[in-house]
Amino acid sequence: MGPLKNKLCLVTGGSKGIGLGISKKLAQMGGRVVLLSRSDQVHLAKEQLPQLNSSEPHLSFNLDVSNPSQVEQLFKDLKEQELRASVLVNAAGIVHNQLLTHQKSSSIQDIININLLGTTYMCKSMIKQLVRNKEEGNIINLSSITGIFGNPGNAVYSSTKAGIIGLTKSLAKEWGSKNIRVNCIAPGYINTDMTSGLPAEYKEKIMESVPLKRWGTVEDVAQAAEYLTLANYANGVVLQVDGGLSL
């Protein structure tokens, strides 16, 4: 049945892109996946997941991770249904490609609320559940290489991704003694809806700067998530999946 048999896996941003790709991987590993997204598309996305155990169907819920009350209610609802999550993947995120001086305050706030605060709220509720039940757990946060090196036109986005790295490392130190592992993935340029709007010449320029001479795929990131899910001694890791771009 796979290494995640009888494991409940929560994935934010699960309706498309990297979140959905990781969800498919977790399902292939035998996990029971709970897809979470603001978009109603999440319920259709659930039907794309491999179903290895018909007695434990995958689930999907609408959730705004930037709303702490909604996050807390999610975990209360899971508790009432006697569902305990073992794995959390925080993949919800947005980006607005603009110079900071041109960016509206509402846009800045949205990026911070969803990318950084949303990840923080989910980690908080997940860890509280694990500690209360005296269970080990695994949290994987999605950062970005822009959170390490910065990127022009992405000042706010990059700052949230840098914050996620700091959050990940701090939580790994705080809760490692409780067998709660917290790691993050820092993807490079990946072919998703988020990057589909970039000019073709810019995409070509990026590809030429990557030693592997190609853009990354959602599957590349999903494989990294698979590794961190199974690597029992990995804690506080920032796994760069960028084809060598950051070398």
Which residues does the annotation mark as catalytic? 157
| Whether the Cβ atoms of residue 148 and residue 240 lie closer than 8 Å to each other | yes
| Whether the Cβ atoms of residue 183 and residue 168 lie closer than 8 Å to each other | yes
The overall longest dimension of the chain from CA atoms, in Å, is 53
Q: Find tokens 């820092």 and name the residue.
A: 186
Instruction: Kindly provide the b/e burial profile for residues 78-101, where b requires at least 16 CB atoms within 10 angstroms of the residue's own CB.
Output: beeeeebbbbbbbbbbbbeebeee
Q: CA-CA-CA-CA torsion for 226, 47, 20, 206, nearest 10 degrees?
A: 110
| Whether the Cβ atoms of residue 162 and residue 111 lie closer than 8 Å to each other | no
